[in-house]
Amino acid sequence: MRVGEQSTDPIDQVLGEVPMPAPLTPEDVRLAVRAVVVHTAEEWPTGPLCRNDGASYPCRLHRWGRRVLEAHGLNERQIEALIRHGNPFVHVPFPFTATGPSPARTAGARPATTGYPAPAGRTGGLPARQQAARAVPPGVRPTAAGRPVTAPVTAPRWPRAS
């Protein structure tokens, strides 16, 4: 059965198609990616079946996921690449453009903090607590209460080989 054909599966005839969401949200796109990747075809002697639920391929969720991704702007080749990639949690930018996320979406985005120290003199938009932690001199670490504690000075455990 092709993607655009009507299903002969009894459950599909009773339940019908999964409705499309009216305004497309990032959550809908994430669920659609998961649907097309998890509900892929698996070859059986009787023909291709859905790998997840055993229904005739493409199942209701796979068809819904394709419709959502096509409405989001992905073409057939890009959807097939998502399926071949095999990761149901792969990120598809929202709103989608052929070259990546739209400039309007990324212009007001907050800078991501990686947890690594910023170069000297720059804080990189870190919260005040992390900026204060960077102001502590070397060898002194702040405690949970905020009071600095000096690291103990100890001799090496093992004598050095000479």
Please state whether 73 falls in left (phi above 0), alpha (psi between -120 and 50) or beta. left
The reported pLDDT for the residue numbered 17 is 82
The reported pLDDT for the residue numbered 21 is 85
The reported pLDDT for the residue numbered 92 is 86
CA distance linking residue 60 with residue 54, whole number of Å = 11
The reported pLDDT for the residue numbered 156 is 59
Q: Which of 66, 61, 63, 69 is nearest to 96 (CA)?
A: 69
Q: Print pLDDT tens along the chain (162 aa).
A: 455 555 667 777 777 788 888 888 999 999 999 999 999 999 999 999 999 988 888 888 999 999 999 999 999 999 999 999 988 888 888 776 655 544 544 444 444 444 555 555 555 555 666 666 556 555 555 555 556 666 566 655 666 665
The reported pLDDT for the residue numbered 160 is 61
Q: Which of 13, 1, 77 is nearest to 41 (CA)?
A: 1
- Helix or strand or coil: residue 124? coil
The reported pLDDT for the residue numbered 130 is 62
The reported pLDDT for the residue numbered 66 is 94
The reported pLDDT for the residue numbered 16 is 79
